[in-house]
Amino acid sequence: MTMISLAVRLRSRAHFSLKGNISSKPGAIIGTSVGRRNQERQRISILIAAFAVVFLVVGARLTQYGLAEPIAAASIGKSTDAFASRPDILDRHGELLATDLNMVSLYAEPRKIVDADEVVEKLATVIPDLDWRDTHRKLQSGSAFQWLRRQLSPRQQADILALGIPGIGFRPEKRRFYPGGPTAAHIVGHVNVDNQGLAGMERYIDQEGLADLRAAGMTSETPLEPIKLSIDLRVQNIVREAVARAMSAYQAEAAGAVVLDVETGEVLAMASVPDYDPNEPSRTLPDGKVDKAYENGWFNRMSNATFEMGSTFKSFTLAMGLDAGKINLNSVVDASRPIRMGGFTIKDFRGKYRPLTIPEVFQYSSNIGTAAVADMVGIAGHQAFLTRLGLLSKMETELPGVATPTQPRTWKKINSVTISFGHGVATTPLQTAVAAAALLNGGELISPTFLPRSRDEAKANAQQVIQATTSADMRYLYNRNGVMGSGRSAQVPGFHVGGKTGTADKVINGRYATDLNFNAFLAGFPMDKPRYIVLSIIDAPLTGEKGGRQAAYTAAPIVREIIGRAGSFLGVQPRFGPETAPQLLADF
């Protein structure tokens, strides 16, 4: 069989087979073709639906982004906080104590950052103390906004702009500036990085409504009227220098002083050391930790702490006896022997061990004599008198953070006796000065203020707490002690200073230390017509003038320096010549 014939036969068989299939199953090919077309249509429909969903989602997101406000620094956090202005703070003569400076802060939009490593390296050339790790973490956070550095200098801003880094920008802010640094730190206080008051009168300003204005967005570009304080910056500087010098010279843990107007209750100056610079409220050590020792300077011992004020309290005990009519200046009490009571022995430091007149009790600071006067008045009368003078309740004033005095839960006779000479009750030095002002100004208790106040305004809210004759007697005792007693250490020629020392054993962990003192000196001047109270404190001095550690050698010299340097600024003209007797109330 030839190859040609074989091919013909195979083709004919195939043709026959195909014909046989077609003829045996009619419509099979047509059905298969229709099914395939339906499957193709379904697949195309599914693809079209999927693409439609994708396009709808993308379109919706684009529409959302288009309608949303653009991300900007001002939309991050509370924008009014960063832009908020604060009023200037001035002293009573218009000298600037605090003001706002216009600053800028550096921020980043991490989503726009291409190379975080490069950005960190470039910024470090302008900001030497930049935290590389923290900055790198912020740049790679993927968030919309991150602060990189707050409150840059104009030079730093210009240098960073010159780097041409995409994804970073600047935001205008306010920075609080205190020209006097630590001079009035505990009065003025300070703010945080968002210009919110944290302490002192800065916090008081926020509490009085500035915080509400800020929340309402009304302080961004609105100039606010300056706030004038009662303090005299010249006197404040002297007081701060005096207490800082004493703390260093007498190797003390702390010191403080206040100058108070007895007729208006205005605080003319107040300082407590150690202190701090409100321009730099916190400091960081080289190891990155917060400097806790520096932050201890925030503690204002004049109003935020209570102390047992020692023998300065004898002023109030004798005033109590005089006001109650139990004694007069000619009275004599027996101080010839110690008092034994409840397992305790009350004795005098360098006692005279003889009967003493009331002026001698004050001059020699007799614990025995003072305890006798307290016993004459009685426990209830004693507690009521100190309460009337505001020594047992929290003092009301503008300065935040005022401490509350402590006293025994139940007063017993031994409590009244020890409290009579300044042990067993702890008060703030400031309220001690306020109560002393009532002893010298005719008997009016006037709440202290750090804002200007006229005599008429003070008179309207004053409370008569002792009789005018009692006040006159107390002026006599203060003047006499300034001339003949322990007050001589604070005497300034021409200014006629009177006062009372207070040397108390320092309380440590609820126990009295035998080798450490808390000393105070409570003074008034000029004693012929007192205008000011000056109270100084010094905590745990290791030495003092003439080597003494008592108040006469440590606290009194502080008062002497303050009055000697600041007396003329306070409007008191030195007067030389024969001693003039203290004026009676009718002369005021």
Positions of E strands within 469-579 = 498-508, 511-525, 532-539
Catalytic residue among 230, 272, 303, 311: 311
Nearest to 507 by CA among 306, 315, 226: 306
Strands 89-90 and 227-228: parallel
Count other C-beta atoms under 10 Å from residue 166's C-beta. Answer: 11
Which residues have a Cβ under 8 Å from the Cβ of 441 and sit 6 or more positions away? 262, 263, 471, 530, 588
540 in Cβ contact with 516 (< 8 Å): yes
Which residues have a Cβ under 8 Å from the Cβ of 71 and sit 6 or more positions away? 109, 144, 145
CA distance 285 to 304: 27
187 in Cβ contact with 270 (< 8 Å): yes
230 in Cβ contact with 452 (< 8 Å): yes
Signed CA dihedral, 573, 185, 505, 420: sign only: positive
Burial tier of 135 (Cβ tally within 10 Å: 0-12, 13-18, 19+): buried
CA distance 450 to 306: 20
523 in Cβ contact with 534 (< 8 Å): yes
Signed CA dihedral, 433, 435, 439, 443: sign only: positive
CA of residue 517 relative to chain centroid, distance: 27
Nearest to 412 by CA among 390, 446, 382: 382
Task: Fill in the DSSP letter of residue 396.
Answer: P
Which residues have a Cβ under 8 Å from the Cβ of 70 and sit 6 or more positions away? none
Nearest to 389 by CA among 359, 425, 346: 425
108, amino acid identity: A
Signed CA dihedral, 4, 6, 9, 15: sign only: negative
Coil, strand or helix: which one is 94? coil
Q: Is 315 annotated as catalytic?
A: no
Strands 254-261 and 227-228: unpaired
Task: Cite the active site residues.
Answer: 311
